[in-house]
Amino acid sequence: MTEAVGGGVTHKDVVCPFCGLGCDDISLKVDGLSVEAGEGACGRAAALFRRSAAPAPSARVAGRDASIDEAVSAAADLLAGAASTAYAGFAADVNGVRSLIKLASKTGGSVDHYASAGLFRNLSTSQRKGWIATTLAEVRNRCDLFVVVGPDPSEAFHRLYTRVTPPTGRFVEGRRKVVFLGGEPSAEARQQLVGLDVETIEVREGGLVDALSRLNTLVSGGSTPPVEPDLAPLAEALKSAKYGVLAWNAAALGADGDLVVERAAAVVDMLNVTTRAACLPLAGRDNLIGANQTFLWNIGFPIRTAFRSGQATHDQALNRTGAALESADLMVWTSAFRPERPPGFEGKVVAIAHPDTTFESEPDVFIPVGQPGLDHRGLAFRTDTVVSIPLGKHRDSGLASVADVAKRILERLP
């Protein structure tokens, strides 16, 4: 919905594509090229939506301004001559990801999203053990006990508690309770949690895996040594809850994150013997989930897949960006949602990126692209993987999409 205000236009109910919550109640005031976010936007979204009236920079080749045709040709030449390419960043809408997959399969090279570490912590448990996961809407409607495992996820998912744990839910009787196990709510989170019962359980540094193991024992009816923290009250609360949820931000769990996720999922499995419970594994920003889903549809593997000699091979370790760059002579960096700086790299660099991106050293080719959900339409996926969110076009910047640029490069390849 749009309405004219003064010299500009205000777009209402805009979908935010940045963190994976898919908030769809943002207002944007657009006046020519300038953009200001208003009602509904968290601080991070407001900063990422904001644009001045200045035109976007032109494409650059070897540091000099160039037309997009010249930049596309230069990128195609670099790809044609590369011995080993690492496609990194990989932050684009679904159509952009589709086109990048076609480009990578034609040229060869490894593919990884810059925010994939948390995703693979979650996938490692779901692949080995399986789990019972839920959605944002299910939590909002049914969850009466919400347990946050580890650091507060709202540091990355800013409006998490507003979205999933309002004081009342459609099928929630009485006051909803939120427990922080091994973390503490931020000041911003506390404001969102007003009206809820909130409890914090301290866990010693590095002790979260042990705490979850003891919680699982208590939930199953066993006993544990009398050590701090005392988790018996939490175990009883989970067993008596109508719909308990354990949530975490996998990217923030530290070195033992894989084990934390595995233990949390085990607690949920045990609870489901006698009651109803689920996991809410939070991961992903800048359409990480959409990139992974698109890979699965098209290739049959998750990201961190490499194309070589006409074959696709998946390896979470070898195709991780850091590992792939050790043997690559060309990096293709894509980041359309935000000006995420690419990692340092001594080889050639093609950057298909946000116009405000800064670099440690000038890339060989820089092609500025539009932001999905602002400069062009697109699709992204929410963090819970089940909902694709439609992104609208709210200004005319003249910037090409990642999909358009990738297609043009592909057409120039021999």
pLDDT tier at 225, thresholds 50, 70, 90: confident
Residue 88 CA: distances (Å) to CA of 73, 112, 131, 148: 20, 5, 29, 31
pLDDT tier at 6, thresholds 50, 70, 90: low
Q: What is the pLDDT of residues 47-67, one digit of tens each?
A: 999 999 999 999 999 999 999
Structure tokens that stand for 253 in this block: 């769990």
Given a contact cutoff of 8 angstroms between Cβ atoms, the answer to whether 374 and 35 are in contact is yes
Q: What is the pLDDT of residues 246-278, one digit of tens each?
A: 999 999 998 899 999 999 999 999 999 999 999
Please determine, for residue 133, whether its predicted confidence score (pLDDT) is greater than 80. Answer: yes
Please determine, for residue 7, whether its predicted confidence score (pLDDT) is greater than 70. Answer: no
pLDDT tier at 26, thresholds 50, 70, 90: very high
Q: What is the pLDDT of residues 317-334, one digit of tens each?
A: 999 999 999 999 999 999
Residues 6+ apart with CB under 8 A from 391: 15, 17, 93, 372, 373, 377, 378, 379, 380
Q: What is the pLDDT of residues 338-393, one digit of tens each?
A: 999 999 999 999 999 999 999 999 999 999 999 999 999 999 999 999 889 999 99
pLDDT tier at 228, thresholds 50, 70, 90: confident
Q: What is the pLDDT of residues 274-307, one digit of tens each?
A: 999 999 999 889 999 999 999 999 999 999 999 9
Sheet holding 244-249, edge to edge: 197-201, 177-181, 145-149, 244-249, 277-282
Q: Sketch out the chain's domains with CATH numbers.
A: 2-49 (no CATH), 59-115+286-412 (3.40.50.740), 119-282 (3.40.228.10)
Three-state secondary structure of the chain: CEEEECCEEEEEEECCCCCCCCCCCEEEEEECCEEEECCCCCHHHHHHHCECCCCCCCEEECCEEECHHHHHHHHHHHHHHCCCEEEEEEECCHHHHHHHHHHHHHHCEEECCCCHHHHHHHHHHHHHCCCCECCHHHHHHHCCEEEEECCCHHHCCCCHHHHHCCCCCCCCCCCCEEEEECCCCCHHHHHHCCCCEEEEECCCCCCHHHHHHHHHHHHCCCCCCCCCCCCHHHHHHHHHCCCEEEEEEHHHCCCCHHHHHHHHHHHHHHHCCCCCEEEEEECCCCCHHHHHHHHHHHCCCCCCEEEECCEEEECCCCCCHHHHHCCCCEEEEEECCCCCCCCCCCCEEEEEECCCCCCCCCCCEEEECCCECCCECEEEECCCCCCEEEECCCCCCCCCCHHHHHHHHHHHCC
Cβ atoms within 10 Å of 369's Cβ, excluding its own: 30
